[in-house]
Amino acid sequence: MQMPILSSLVLMLAAAGAQAQSSAPLPALGADAGAVSVSGLSSGAFMAVQYQVAFSASVIGAGVVAGGPYYCAAGFLGFTPTCMGKGLLPPDAGMLLSAAQGFAAQGKIDPLSGLANDRIYVFSGTKDTVVATSAVNSTVDFFKRAGVPTANLSYVNKLPAGHALVTPNFGNSCGLNQSPYISHCTVGGHSYDQPGAILSHIYGQLQPPASSRSAQVASFNQGEFADVYTTGMPPQAYVYVPAACTSQGGCKVHVAFHGCKQSAQSVNDDFYDKSSYNSWADSNKIIVLYPQVNKSYLPFNPDGCWDWFGYTGSDYALKSGLQLKAIRAMIDRLTAPLASPAVASQ
């Protein structure tokens, strides 16, 4: 029994090394450090909330699609059903806010006052059987208690969508809860464009999405920022850089976190290339970062979920958390002074 596992690990490590060698470094592009935002689905939504709260001084907004409040599981796998709305009671937003306030007082996350001007989009589909609306309600409650003005909160919870990112031209029919966890839904005779709704809520009025993109998604060496053994983050991740952002600084940065079973390992380019994120980004000078976490057994993460319950360590929701630190380092690279040559499309 041990030999097949050992052989699998050897093969996995060999493949990881080959990926790292074939991917270019993430470039310094002189992006605007004051225009960074995040979003995600499912475990990616929990991760987006974690990043936004932990680094609230440097994040201006977040899109939370089917995700619970900050520190919901409190580092215990046994609490995850409650955080997904499967318990007798919903997550206690007041208690979780107290935990966040404690972390802030200790300097382990940014002061919560950094949330006061942030713009938050939250979504729960009425046919979502994975993360119930009761859990997502607690996310909205958490942000209100943390000082986010009601005017800055957009809560969309009437669409008959399943557990999915909703995009206009790709994926399953609206109410399904299955791979690739991307669906298309119609509202008032028009396709609902969730990436566009998220980015528009965070950044304000935007130019329409590009009908033809100026660039292609590029892979980069994520292994420079994260150790695969301790984080589950593979050596290769992805970034979309509009052509205009390769030669001039000042572009915005948006981090899009995939959900469980939704990394490139599981769904190829469905998440990072087939939604509308990149089309909106192209016409509005937004760099979109697509970090990756894979299914793994070191650490134990068989569904390829972002860490929102502690599998990478007890500090997973703090600025010192391994995955959060890696994402921050990637953003710091993108916002560093413009370097040449820029990342090459692959």
- Per-residue model confidence as pLDDT tens digits over 267-312: 999 999 999 999 999 999 999 999 999 999 878 899 999 999 999 9
Residue 119: how many other CB atoms lie within 10 Å: 21
- The active-site residue out of 23, 110, 118, 128 is 128
Separation of alpha carbons 116 and 11, rounded Å: 48
φ and ψ at residue 257, rounded to 5 degrees = -95, 120
The answer as to whether 18 is a domain residue is no
Separation of alpha carbons 207 and 104, rounded Å: 37
Contact 187, 315 (CB under 8 A): no
The answer as to whether 68 is a domain residue is yes
Per the DSSP assignment, residues forming a β-bridge with 182 are 165
- The active-site residue out of 23, 37, 42, 56 is 42
The answer as to whether 340 is a domain residue is no
The answer as to whether 222 is a domain residue is yes
Residue 86: how many other CB atoms lie within 10 Å: 13
Asked about 42 being catalytic, the answer comes back as: yes
| Structural domain count, the chain | 1
The answer as to whether 94 is a domain residue is yes
Q: Is the pTM of this model over 0.85?
A: yes
The answer as to whether 204 is a domain residue is yes
The answer as to whether 13 is a domain residue is no
pLDDT in tens, 18-33: 444 568 999 999 999 9
Asked about 163 being catalytic, the answer comes back as: yes
Separation of alpha carbons 223 and 326, rounded Å: 10
Q: State the pLDDT at residue 5.
A: 36
Q: State the pLDDT at residue 299.
A: 84
Q: State the pLDDT at residue 13.
A: 46
pLDDT in tens, 157-210: 999 999 999 999 999 999 999 999 999 999 888 999 999 999 999 999 999 999
Asked about 254 being catalytic, the answer comes back as: no
The answer as to whether 130 is a domain residue is yes
Q: State the pLDDT at residue 233.
A: 98
pLDDT in tens, 45-88: 999 999 999 999 999 999 999 999 999 999 999 999 999 999 99
Helices (H), the chain: 2-22, 43-54, 80-83, 93-105, 133-145, 194-203, 228-231, 264-267, 270-273, 277-284, 322-335
Domain that holds residue 209: 35-335
